[in-house]
Amino acid sequence: MQGTSIRACLARKVSAALLFTALPIAAVAQTTPAAPAVPPVKLGIVTFLTGPAAGPFGIPGRNSAEIMIEMLNAGKVPAPYATPGLAGAPILPKFVDEAGSSANQVTEFRNLVQRDGMNAVVGYISSGNCLAVAPVAEELKALTVFWDCGTPRIFEEKPLKYVFRATPHATMDNVAAARYVLKKFPDLASFSGINQNYAWGQDSWRDFVAAMKALAPKATVDKELLPKLFAGEFGAEISALLTTNSKVVHSSFWNGDLESFIVQNGARGLPARSTMVYTAGETAMFRLGAKIPDGTIIGARGPHGVMAPDTPLNKWFRGVYEDRFATSPTYPAYHMAQSILGLKSAWDKAAAAKGGQQPSIDEVVKAFEGLEFEGPSAKIRMAIGNGHQGIADIAYGSFRFNKAEGKAEIVDIVRYPAECVNPPANMTSTAWLEAGMPGAKCN
């Protein structure tokens, strides 16, 4: 008796939980024109809603997903995406917090697919979570689009069938950074790096050093600093950098640590001695404004944000995003938008091959492989990782604070073609870097 009543109570709780989460979704669904014939496509969206990565990445990603889904459902996205929903089917999103251990993420992924019946999942900022979820996505045959994680390992360790990543991986960020640095400082004698002591920081630094070795074999490494993630206090590291003669300091810091580091090193005059290179600097530049010294080299993990070209799609995207959220979209917003647009392109293509009928997941997967589509900021080609990993152009530029308008700007923008900064399809990024980047086409 006891057992059944507990179970009944639990069932009530679970259904209550589902009901509550359904409410906001229902509200979104109501604003879209009814298309009664086609059942909706349920889309799980996983992004940091709490924790340190929520502000810089998670929330812009969620905002971008919210607005893209709403606009797609309404058929209001400009060409070539002007048809409503995914091949006519409205999208029903369900948002899940990415905070918590990778065990939690695997559990919640199973819940999304097996309990909540999601047709596809767009998710994950943390590379660790991407790596943990990938085998489960394969096991469940669940179409999954990773939207922001950077590690090249996803498709290099084993081929995957149901997992895609439209967003290029992080090797590109650091190869392009090296090229840009050497364009500014052709005779660079030595450089240093300060990166967070976890996978992202270690990988970024390793790739940057390898690219520098290939492009400027004479340049040496002065200091290699790897402070703890979220250390917040970098006094000792800044002193260590001040004691070197490095012209250039590489850093893949993001948000909290990045802003703290910029303020602290500014107060102690580090930028007067070394030019700083922030590969993920774009998320912080509007918040810090004049605190960032002019000439600082800024990356945006793609040609996103202010470095994006002036296409109609980009103008539209910036317009609706700024109207709704009263702030400019930073690169995570672009990553999310291009991931959802990739999914839509694949879906529409698969449906077109079927005479307009809703495609099966396997058909979408087939259509997604090797796909080329337009993102708001660049053309994405699913060219490597057996057609599952996107490559795109990337841009780097130098920061300038426009005092007249009180606005942060990027100048001296250099755009590198995808083939110039990405490994070819048959090589892993590490092997490609170690071999001196053979086959890179930069013009």
Which tokens belong to 327?
Answer: 């702030």
Instruction: Select the span of 79-87, 283-291, 311-319, 402-410 touching another protein (CB under 8 A).
Output: 283-291
Smaller CB distance to another protein: residue 275 or 314? 275
Q: Of 7, 13, 76, 407, which lies in the binding site for another protein, with binding defined by CB under 8 A?
A: 13
Alpha-carbon gap, residue 173 to 307, rounded angstroms = 14
Judge whether 354 and 264 are in contact, CB under 8 Å.
no
Residues of span 313-332 touching another protein by CB under 8 A: none
Smaller CB distance to another protein: residue 268 or 379? 268
Residue type at position 115: R
Q: Of 266, 295, 370, 424, which lies in the binding site for another protein, with binding defined by CB under 8 A?
A: 266
Q: In angstroms, what CA-CA distances link 10 with 6, 15, 284?
A: 6, 8, 44
Smaller CB distance to another protein: residue 106 or 414? 106
Q: Of 29, 35, 38, 55, which lies in the binding site for another protein, with binding defined by CB under 8 A?
A: 55
Q: Of 287, 315, 354, 379, which lies in the binding site for another protein, with binding defined by CB under 8 A?
A: 287
Judged by CB under 8 A, the number of residues near another protein is 84
Dihedral sign of CA atoms 431, 252, 379, 354 in order: positive
Q: Judged by CB under 8 A, does residue 228 bind another protein?
A: yes
Contacts with another protein, 239-258, as mask; x by CB under 8 A: xx-xx-----------xxxx
Q: Judged by CB under 8 A, does residue 25 bind another protein?
A: no
DSSP run (H or E) holding 197: none
Q: Judged by CB under 8 A, does residue 372 bind another protein?
A: no
425, 430, 432, 435: CA torsion to nearest 10: -160
Would you tell me the crossing angle of helices 331-353 and 361-368 to the nearest 10 degrees?
110
**38: which DSSP letter?**
S
- Closest listed residue to residue 278, CA positions, set 185, 398, 187: 398
Contacts with another protein, 56-75, as mask; x by CB under 8 A: x-xx----------------
Q: Of 173, 207, 259, 363, which lies in the binding site for another protein, with binding defined by CB under 8 A?
A: 259
Q: Judged by CB under 8 A, does residue 210 bind another protein?
A: no
Q: Of 29, 83, 104, 309, which lies in the binding site for another protein, with binding defined by CB under 8 A?
A: 104
Q: Judged by CB under 8 A, does residue 83 bind another protein?
A: no
CA angle 315, 25, 108 (to 5 degrees): 100
Which tokens belong to 69?
Answer: 């889904």
Q: Judged by CB under 8 A, does residue 102 bind another protein?
A: yes
Residues of span 115-154 touching another protein by CB under 8 A: 115, 127-128, 131-132, 134-136, 139, 151, 153
Instruction: Select the span of 63-71, 94-102, 353-361, 431-439 touching another protein (CB under 8 A).
Output: 94-102
Least Cβ distance, residue 271 to another protein (angstroms): 11
Q: Judged by CB under 8 A, does residue 161 bind another protein?
A: no
Q: Of 8, 14, 26, 352, which lies in the binding site for another protein, with binding defined by CB under 8 A?
A: 14
- Closest listed residue to residue 418, CA positions, set 385, 378, 386: 378
Least Cβ distance, residue 301 to another protein (angstroms): 17
Backbone angles phi, psi at 81, to 5 degrees: -110, 25
Alpha-carbon gap, residue 153 to 142, rounded angstroms = 20
Q: Of 8, 26, 159, 230, which lies in the binding site for another protein, with binding defined by CB under 8 A?
A: 230
Instruction: Select the span of 211-219, 260-268, 380-388, 434-442 touching another protein (CB under 8 A).
Output: 260-268
Least Cβ distance, residue 93 to another protein (angstroms): 12
3-state secondary structure of 96: strand
End-to-end CA separation in angstroms for the chain: 75
Q: Judged by CB under 8 A, does residue 95 bind another protein?
A: yes
- Closest listed residue to residue 396, CA positions, set 295, 322, 273: 295
Alpha-carbon gap, residue 316 to 72, rounded angstroms = 13
Please tell me the number of Cα atoms within 13 Å of 101 on its side-chain side: 3
DSSP run (H or E) holding 87: none
Q: Judged by CB under 8 A, does residue 260 bind another protein?
A: yes
Smaller CB distance to another protein: residue 140 or 189? 140
Peptide bond into 80 cis (omega under 30): yes
Residues in the chain: 443
